[in-house]
Structures are given as C-alpha cells and as structure tokens.
Structure 1
C-alpha cells in the first residue's frame, strides 16, 4: 500500500504554477468562445433562430439536462446570460474568488452548451471537463488575485507541488481523451491502410492552407496518419511512468502541442486545438515552471508580491458595500470535508473512465443505461470520436437558392449573386465560424431532418429583412454532394434539395 501511494504521488503530482497558467488560458478560451457565440445570439439561442425552444425540447432534450438559457426564447435574455458568464470568466482569469468563479463559469457553460447541442464539438466536452476538475483543484494559488490576499511568505517557504484525487482525475482525463479516440478508430484506414488523413484533407469544408500543401503526397499522408493514430494510442501512457517523470511529461506536452498546432494548420477545427493545448499546460513539471518563472515571469514569480500587488492594489481597497458571512462552527471538520471531496472526485473519475470505455469495442461490462443520468446531470458524458471510426465521406457545399417574385434565382451564400452550382474556390469560407460549420454538418443527417425547415425559414426571414429591395418568396437549401473517392478520383457532384420553404413577400 505504501508503494502504491508513493507511485501515485510520483505520477500524479502537479505544479501549482502550471495549474495557474492553465486556469488563465481556459478562462481566456471561455471568453473567446462567448465572443464568437455572441455574434449569433438570435440564430442559435432564440426562438427566432434555427432551434426554437419547443424544437429543442421535442427532439434534442434529455430529462436530466438543465439550462438557464432555455428559460426564455428572447435573444435579449441570452445577452444578459452571456454578459454574466463573461463576468465570471474574467473573475476566473484574474483568480478572484477562484473556486466560486470556477463553479459559476462551469455552470453557465453547461447551460449554454445544453441550449444548442447541434453546434457542439469535441472541444466543448473537454472544456467543460477541465472546468469541472478545476473546481477541485487549487489553481488560484499562483498568478491570481486570491494569492495576493494571503500573508507574505518567502519564496523558499512556498510549496508549488500538489497532489490529490483531483490531480489524478485531471491527468487521467487528459490521457483518456487520446486513448479513447484511438480505440474508437478501429477501421483499416487508421491503423493499416493509413488513408484516414487523405480522406480528412479531401473534405473541402474543413481544409486549411497547410492541408492543401501536403494533400498531393499520399505516402506522407500515410505516415502522418499512422503517426497520429499511434501517438493518440500510446503517448498518454508515458504519463504513468514513475521514473524520469519530468522528462516524459515534457515529451508529452511538446508532442501534443506540436500535434494540435499541426491540426490547426491543416484542418478548420475552431477552438478545439487551443482547448487541447490548454489541457496539457497543467502537466508542465516543476523544473520547467522554475525556468518559465525565472525567465518569462520574473516580475510575477513571487505569488504574494511582485507585480500582482500593483495590479490588484485598487481592487483590495475597502468597498462601499461588502457582505461577509461567517459561521461560529464549520459545517463539518476540515479533514472530513477533504475526504468527502476526494471521495466524490474518485467516484466521478471512475464513472468517466467507465463511460469512455463503454463506448469502445473492448470486451468489458458496459455502463448500464439506467446509470447514465448521473453523467447527464453533471455533463460528465464524453465521446471522443473525432474522425472515428472512419472519416466522414459526404463532402460538398451548400447553395442557398432563393427565388424572387420576378422569377430571378439568387444564391444567398454568395451575397445574392446569380445561382452558380460550380464549386467555390474555398468551401470553408462559406461558413461564418466553426459553429455554423458544425451545424451545417449535422443538417445533412437524415436523423436530423427536423432541423431543416427552421434553418430554411430563418435564412429566408433574415434575407428579406436585410434586403427589402430584393425579397425572395421561396428558398431551396441545396447540397451539392461530392463524396470522397479513393486515390484522388474526382467525383461528379450531385444536387440534393434538403429543404424548401416559401411565403409571400410583404407589400
């Protein structure tokens, strides 16, 4: 038992300064995500958009979910919640009331994601899981306002190492993302044929300039495919090696950062790569953080002094209104609360591992459906099926064919130009952001046919409101389907009408 405890401490101890940097990075991502989503308040979160509340509850909603954003279909109500979430995210970034800020940021993120699951992607799952584990991590000990509130201590008396059930959960979570996605990629294109990257880069909807450069080289794509697969499958196990632990952690961080930068240069994945890079920042070992602290953060390196005192000096002035709640007796002894917290984290972690393994083809006892309510309530549900088990084949582009009262046909996707079904120079440029790209991908599936009329009517209404001099009476959402063929064969696009809506223009 003693050796097991020593092993766990060796493998799952983290540096508090690295956690502080991860906290700041994740808070910045939350703010960036809110800024991107805020450009589509009406489209994605109101009853006037593509997913009205009654459609959400009828087709997507699960009885265990919750969402403050689903309390009203007004975009103005959503704007208030967005502003509130931004305030809490700023508090998290500054490390002000860090644990409370983490809880509130996590709650509002869950609420936001539950309001419109049709625009979600894998990075959203990882972001909410990192915030969830962050509730139980002391990531406000360094580089934070909270740290400046503590009594001044000498640098030598400040311990930067930390171990708990939450650090185990955090590191296991990082590893299981990659191992799970590798286990789900059980098709020959990933681990024998090596053609998965070829098919991924054939998707014009997500092809970035870096992908265009390497696409013509099949042997290179095969090597990169196999390299990506075995990196995801094997690399996380380096984190479990108890000797040379600092070295192996640096290897994992460097490889995964390079891996996700490479993805961002070749494929359009939104914030996915930034979230994944943030997830490994907390793994940086003490020697690396000592160097970063000394060379890059010299004026900030003392957590209770240095520049933080100047930055937060005014915030620490007595306020006109302050509320203080104190208890004569604690609700429970401190050691008991710590045990309860660690016990809950351990249960949640085992549940997450079981959930992930149940989605694979491993011969294990699967998580019963009757037990999934716990995962949905806290949104511990996870699925890391990025390009798994096979890469999506039905590539193509949208033509939003509007018809005016005079019989003219225009393409709303091309700012009202004459309809031309030829392939655009950049299919990816047709999407405002990655949320719309994901929505458009989900729009194709027959199981999501209920989505189609709401998107069609939304586009038609917005066009007529913004172009009163050129209103349309009918809109056809057309998908020019161009399935990916092997060996660089060029398919002939086929025209598929996904939805038609019509009305009479106002006179």
Structure 2
C-alpha cells in the first residue's frame, strides 16, 4: 500500500492540539498535590462526623443504601475515626510526594486509590469538583508530569525538548472539553437557553450567595446577560482546544477565560473547592509562550530550593510496587509497553465519552447499557457534570436545630445553643462549617434521602451531650425554614418544615 506523501504533514497538524509542555504538566501535578492536601485538611476536621460509625453515615447505612458491588474503599474497612486518621495521614504523604515529584508515578497511583477510597466512603458530601479531581489523577497516572520540576528529575538528564504528545494528553484535553460541553448540554431548561433567569435563581439561593453575588443580584438585565455568557462559554469555548492553527493563542484564550470564569464563581457563589480544582485543571494547557515567561521568574525560587541541604530519603520500595523505570529496557519491549499503555488510555477515553454521551442523552435514551456500567463504578471514571442543571434548584432556606431541654427551654444547636429564633439569618452561608456540610444539608432535604435524617439527629444529640456544660435535651427537631425562590424578586414567607425529630437514648 502506498501512502500519500503529505500524510506525515497532515498527522503533524492534527496532533498539534494535543501537544503539551512538560513544564505545564509539572505545574498541573504540583497544583493537584496542593489541592489534595487542602481537601484532606478540610475533610480532616470531620473525621468522626463524616467517616466513622459514630457519625452521620455508619458503615451499615453506607452498604445498605449507597453501595454497589463494584466499589472499593479502604476507608470502609473500619468505622473507627482513628483508622480514618491513619488513612488521611497516608493520603497526605502521597499528596505531598506528588506535589514534590518524589516517586511521582507511585505517588500518583497512591493518591488516586486513596481519593477514590475516600470519596466512596461518603458520597453524600461529594460535588462536581470531586469528579474532576478524580479524573485528573486517573489520566495523570499515564502522564510524564514528573519529568521536570520534580525530585525525580534530579537523577535524570534534562529532556531534549519540552513538547510532549501521547494518548494521555489526548485524554486530558478531551476530558476538559467534555466537562464544559456536558455542563452546557445538561442545562437544557428554559431559564438557561431562553429566559436567561438562571443566575437570578442561583443568586436567590441564600445557602450559596456570597458578597460578590449580592452586589450583582439587584440587576436583572446584567444577570440575564451573564447567564447567556455562561452557557455559551461552556458550550463553545472547548472547541478552541481542537483548532490546529495558532494553538498557543487559542490555549491562552481558553486558560485566561476559564481562570476568570471560575474566579468570578468564587466571589459570587459558595462552591467549596470546586473553583480551585477547575482553575488548577487548566494549568496543563499553558503553552510554551507562557512558560518561557514564567520560568525565569521561578528560577530564583528553584535555586534556593536546590541549596537546601535536606534531601528526601531514598526509601526502598519493593519491586512489586516500583512503578518507575529502574533498569534499561530493550527498544522492542519499550515500544510494546508504550503501545499497550496507549491502548489502555484510548480504551478508557472511549468509555468515558460513552458514559458522558449516555448522561447527556438522559434515562429515556440509554447509550450505555446497565451491564456495561460496572467498569465506571470500579475505576470511578463515572462522572456527571450537571451543575445547576437542567434548571437551578429553587428550594432555599435555613436550618434550625430545635432542642428542648429537660427544663423546657428551646435552644438552637445550629447557633451554639442560643434561644431559638426563626428569623432569617443575615448570612445563611455562615451557618455551615464548610462546603461538605452544605452539600450534606442539601442532600438531607431530598425525600429519597429521608433515611439519613435519623442518623444526623442522633449524631447531633450525642455530640451535644458530650459537653458537660450543655443542658441535657429531652427532644431534638431538625427544622427547615423553607423559602421557594420566586420570579421578579418576590420573597414568600418561610414555611416551617420538621424533617426529623428524635429523643436521646435512655
């Protein structure tokens, strides 16, 4: 067979959108390591509440209500908070090693396994950013993001060139595009596509509203324009990632717009680590133009780091766990291994695209049959990008944890035991310890999750009575003061709903 003479040139053009800079991949690695440490630090303040049998989701309830036979979780091996603390420590060590680029491949695999394990332990506090974090680590297992700006790079010669392309870079770029495409396509409600009222309703949710959103909220025309700008940005911007001409300029456009987009979200809506994860996710797209400007500005800090006398110990690793290259490999075997790895990555990417197509199509038209979904649950490449989709959630309100003492006083446990008051707080966001609790309280409302209400009520009673300074309670009611968002800035009176009530165990 004779191939056209211009085929190599055409292939070189087609691969341009998937060529990444090794320095950008290193920044992506360091950013993800830092995010993992931050996530562990926030989650670690609720070891007992969210991950132990004495908390809001005991293991028996997890396995009975939220488990599939294909999941795995080291964190579900024990209901003791001390075991959770040990696993958190191991995960923090792996995340730190990832950020430093120390035994990078092993640190990436360990971080991914422990993150999947942690997320499987309590799905009730997860959000869209967790899916993205998990997928970035999954594709990162196949990326050479420890080749530069890493501890591992000190023992290797510098790369001859920084540009790099492989099946894993294709997967990374496509994954980012899928995130925004599916987010837009799932927002099929008229308030996104026709009326332009989606951000009005989003900013009507006091559980999410931050000062930046409060400033924009009184201007309906501005909110309408921002709604359409958001939807079209998510739908159209990813196409710029696949334009094979002027790649560096399109990359700068995508990175700049997305950084500004998520920075805007961070000052208007309370979304936890979602905006940080998304901002870090685009670091791997930085073109050489930006990195050539950044590198000399980082050089002084790198020089100071090289002058440190402290060195990470050369811990021995059993050969079964040594994922880095340790001895020369024959060229034939190296090519075979590279082809096998590319096949695995491309197979996983096809499956991920299949999963997202099925998610966008909805339950009426299943593209991915149920018997084929086990792999997604096992590897946790399952994903859903339905943020504020198909329409914005309208149920809003605040919680009153109404505790009645043995002497008849009624206190609000949500406000440190002060006398109960049903008036709307000045800042509902301030009632949540962190975004994990906010997400838990959101799931707490759904009738499908009514089974979880008793566990939360009992947890609150037990925690209250651990403090001898607290007056004993004879009854606790979890009350939701419900406000349903209305058009045209109408605010209906809050309606008191008792979601759960319980008494202390004798």
TM-score, with structure 1 as normaliser: 0.94
Q: Any residues of structure 2 matched to 1:78-477 within 5 Å, and which?
A: 78-151=84-157, 153=158, 158-294=160-296, 296-299=297-300, 306-311=303-308, 313-315=309-311, 322=316, 325=319, 333-361=333-361, 366-477=367-478
Tell me the secondary structure at the aligned position of residue 426 of structure 2: coil
Report how many residues are paired: 493
Give me the whole-angstrom Cα distance separating, in 1, the residues matched to 2:261 and 2:470: 49
Q: Which residue of 1 aligns with 2:72?
A: 66
* Secondary structure of the corresponding residue to residue 311 of structure 2: helix
Once the 2 structures are TM-superposed, how far is the Cα of residue 287 of structure 1 from its aligned partner?
A: 1.1
Contact 1:143 1:300 in 2 (8 A): no
Aligned equivalents of 2:116, 2:177: Cα separation in 1 = 22
**In 1, Cα distance between equivalents of 2:271 and 2:497:** 26
Gap change, CA 1:187 and 1:4, over 3 Å in 2: farther
Q: CA RMSD in A?
A: 1.9
- Structure 1: stretches of 5+ with no match in the other structure: none
Structure 1 residue 81 displacement after superposition: 0.2
Matched position secondary structure for 1:473: strand
Offset, 1:316: 6.1
- CA change 1:337–1:401 in 2 (3 A) is same
Q: Distance in 2 between matches of 1:389 and 1:469?
A: 45
CA distance in 2, matches of 1:429, 1:107: 33
Cα distance in 1 for partners of 2:13, 2:138 equals 25
1:239–1:252 CA contact under 8 A, matched in 2: yes
Distance 1:31 1:194 in 2: 38
Query: In the superposition, relative to structure 1, how do residues 466 and 332 fare at CA in structure 2: closer, same or farther (>3 Å)?
Result: farther
Contact 1:143 1:308 in 2 (8 A): no
Distance 1:327 1:436 in 2: 48
Match of 2:19 in 1: 13
CA contact (8 A) 1:205 1:397 kept: yes
Asked if 2 retains the 8 angstrom alpha-carbon contact of 1:22 and 1:279, the reply is yes
CA contact (8 A) 1:148 1:308 kept: no
Query: Offset of 1:41 from its aligned partner?
Result: 0.3
Residues 177 and 271 (structure 1), Cα distance of their counterparts in 2 relative to 1, 3 Å cut: same
What residue number does 2:42 align with?
A: 36
User: Tell me, what secondary structure is at the counterpart of 1:255?
Assistant: helix
Distance in 1 of aligned mates of 2:140 and 2:332: 22
The Cα of 1:469 is off from its aligned counterpart by 4.2
Match of 2:500 in 1: 499
Answer yes or no: is the 8 Å Cα contact 2:146–2:153 preserved in 1: yes
Distance 1:467 1:224 in 2: 51
Question: Could you list the per-position Cα deviations for residues 442-493 of structure 1 after superposition, in whole angstroms to 9, with x for gaps in the alignment?
Answer: 0000000110000000001101112444111110000001000011011111
